[in-house]
A and B are shown apart, each in its own frame.
Chain A
Amino acid sequence: MKLTHALSALPFLGILGGIFFVNRVTPLVFGMPLVLAWIVLWVVLSSAIMALVYRLDPTNRREGRR
């Protein structure tokens, strides 16, 4: 399994698996219920992870910039 694939799998683990451990209202995080904050965290992380995947993926280097 390539590193980029493993990275892409992380949000699946975080959202589908993590939900079982964080299904609570308190403590509020940034004013949001814990479970909602957890999902929001993973949405933001997903974006960062995909930016990293984009940089690591050799396909994007071959094609050059735009």
Chain B
Amino acid sequence: MKQQGNLQSIVSSTESVTEVRRRRWATGTLGTLVRHNPTAVGGGIVGLLIVFLALTAPLIAPYDPLKADFRRMAKSPDTHNYFGTDQIGRDTMSRVIYGARSSLVVSFGAVLLGTTVGSLWGLASGYLGGKFDITSQRIMEILQAFPDLILAMAISMAIGTGMRAVIVAIAVTRIPFGGRVIRSVALTVKELAYVEAGRSVGASQFRIMGLHIFPQCLAPYLVLATTHLGVAIIIEAALGFLGVGIPPPTPTWGNMLADSLTSLVPHWWLVFFPGLAITVTVLAFNLLGDGIRDTLDPRLRGSIGSRG
């Protein structure tokens, strides 16, 4: 913060502040990322590629992912079907590409919902303090007392299968993480002089939270959201694998893996490719998340952003 101030006062004579800001963003944040963290950039590129695949799935997938072909059942990978076909002759490659859609929609949706709810809650509980804070803390502790996958399983069982249920189930498991981190940010920020200044001129609590504390929470929020994407993808896949995720015939990586178990001796390509897709996607988002964390908020480096 201090450095930024000095830098601005030095160069502001020749350049406007916005120009400096723009340049600092380009050479500063992005530049540092590329130079010091090539793996994070690699993760970002792979992640974008997967998002692109998911968006253009109908154009890219060689076959219809739902169309069974009874002349080509359980064929190993060849020139017709690069990833082979499943027990009823559906093309595995097309299904893996379409699977990216459910996986990304669920993980982005769940992380966005869970982290946002958790962060807003944490912001309010950190700033307001008192009884509200104590109660909130206890509730977060209770939510965190469940293993993630088991809580998600119980919730999705209760509210039914389907994409929306899975998103909500995973989102609930993300709430305490957002709550804890943002609460601690709010606790530090509310002691700063400018917040006190706001209070002393009679700004409402709502205004202080929204205009003075909220902006400080954005960086940790972004870090939280990206570091939890990978976990969300794994939970989604696990739910699908256990038969409580998005139900078939919609292809998801998880239910494809579950499907592979229906034959007596599983075919290797039906196990290998969906799992590889999960691993590559999670790896890409984890690397990206680590890079964003190191750049935006090195203080979070020691803390574990994720657990399976």
* A-B complex is real: no
- List chain B positions with a Cβ less than 8 A from chain A: none
